[in-house]
Amino acid sequence: MKRSCAPVIVLLLSCLFSACRKTQVQPESGSSIVVGFSQIGAESAWRVCNTRSVQEAAAEAGIQLFYYNAEQKQENQIKAIRSFIAYQVDVIAFVPIVLDGWENVLEEARDAGIPVLLCDREINLDDESLYSGYLGTDMVRQGRSAAEYLIKKFAGDETGRPAADTAGPVRIIELRGTTGSSPEISRAEGFREVIDKFPEFEIIYSASGDFLRSKGYELMRNILDETRDFDVIFSHNDSMTLGAIDAMKERGIRPGTDIIIVTTDAEQAAIEALRAGEVNCVVECNPRQGPDIVRLAARLARGETIPPVTYMDETVFTEWDDLSGLPPRGY
Ligand code: AHR
């Protein structure tokens, strides 16, 4: 462990970060592991759970976590990463808000000899050796799962399940996540990969609601001012879905019945909406990444190599499933 204790930096960090200590995990020579974790914010219940999962897992493992909330700004994340470098943490873990713009700061981390673990979201880089690995979810897969549900819903399937009723093409509205973020790009990509093979499906409108409930509401109100002529909403997260549902109900539209709704994340509120018939399919995105982040960070701190990509286990919940035994989601 190589920590320089420049007093100014320590003072700055003690203002910026909350740290925790318990029974300490040892990297190599008796002192505990220090991880700098830059989170993007608290835009959704999903995100809050994701943060809690990392904090709890670190506390449980006795890892000292410098946690920094970037409040949805990439520049804040870059500043936090630079502070982690100045403090010479053992590992930097961060959730990149968008795909692009990380080269410089990651080169600085490499020059300082600090391994970097990408969490939840991916990045675009020419030189992928600038980070050690990615731990998160398969977001292309999530987009595909959403589309596969729609194929079954509108085409029927081998179990004899009848096709949904539509005259003409199936018109889809897509509520996308934060522009330029990996979930936004990957979910859209996976969804199109499947849906494009079926000419009866048509994406008639696609816009970003920034993963926010308020923006999902606003977008849906604007859409409904223009048209009611659509059949499906595919939403990149539950927060936007819940906002869109509020807007639909205000206009007397029955979500889940008049409009088929497919949403991503699987927050408790979305599962309740699925049970109530107001949502038709919920694609899980698993936020409980803390234990794996901590496990991988500890390996990196010991100088070990980690797999380039580790995906969380996930599932899909649909209106055709028996959800009676499903335990509370906790987020
Ligand atoms: O990066 C994962 C996405 O970010 C989740 O789907 C969303 O709810 C969150 O804000």
Best substitution site from 211, 240, 242, 286 to test ligand 1's pocket, by max atoms within 8 Å of Cβ? 211
Could you tell me the maximum CA-CA distance found in the chain, to the nearest angstrom? 70
Confidence (pLDDT) at 7 = 40
Best substitution site from 38, 39, 44 to test ligand 1's pocket, by max atoms within 8 Å of Cβ? 44
**3-class secondary-structure state, position 176:** strand
Best substitution site from 97, 241, 283, 285 to test ligand 1's pocket, by max atoms within 8 Å of Cβ? 285
- The alpha carbon of 30 and the centre of ligand 1 are apart by a number of angstroms equal to 37
Number of the ligand 1 atom closest to the C-alpha atom of 46: 8
**Closest residue by Cα to residue 293 from 25, 76, 1:** 25
N- to C-terminal Cα distance for the chain?
Answer: 36
- Token code pair at residue 48: 């809050």
pTM, to two decimals:
0.91
Residue 167, class by beta-carbon neighbours within 10 Å (0-12 exposed, 13-18 middle, 19+ buried)? Answer: exposed
**3-class secondary-structure state, position 132:** coil
- List ligand 1's pocket residues with C-beta within 6 A: 43-44, 46-47, 120-121, 183, 211, 237, 239, 264-265, 285
Rg, Å, the chain Cα set? 21
Number of the ligand 1 atom closest to the C-alpha atom of 95: 1
Identify residue 253 by its one-letter amino acid code.
I
Query: Tens digit of pLDDT for each residue in 111-124?
Result: 999 999 999 999 99
Confidence (pLDDT) at 27 = 56
- The alpha carbon of 132 and the centre of ligand 1 are apart by a number of angstroms equal to 22
Confidence (pLDDT) at 168 = 75
Confidence (pLDDT) at 256 = 98
Confidence (pLDDT) at 9 = 47
Residues of the chain with pLDDT under 70: 1-31, 156-162, 165-167
- The alpha carbon of 75 and the centre of ligand 1 are apart by a number of angstroms equal to 19
What domains lie within the chain, and their CATH numbers?
Answer: 6-136+287-313 (3.40.50.2300), 139-285 (3.40.50.2300)
Number of the ligand 1 atom closest to the C-alpha atom of 236: 6
Best substitution site from 46, 119, 242, 288 to test ligand 1's pocket, by max atoms within 8 Å of Cβ? 46
Kindly report the number of other CB atoms within 10 A of residue 212's CB atom: 20
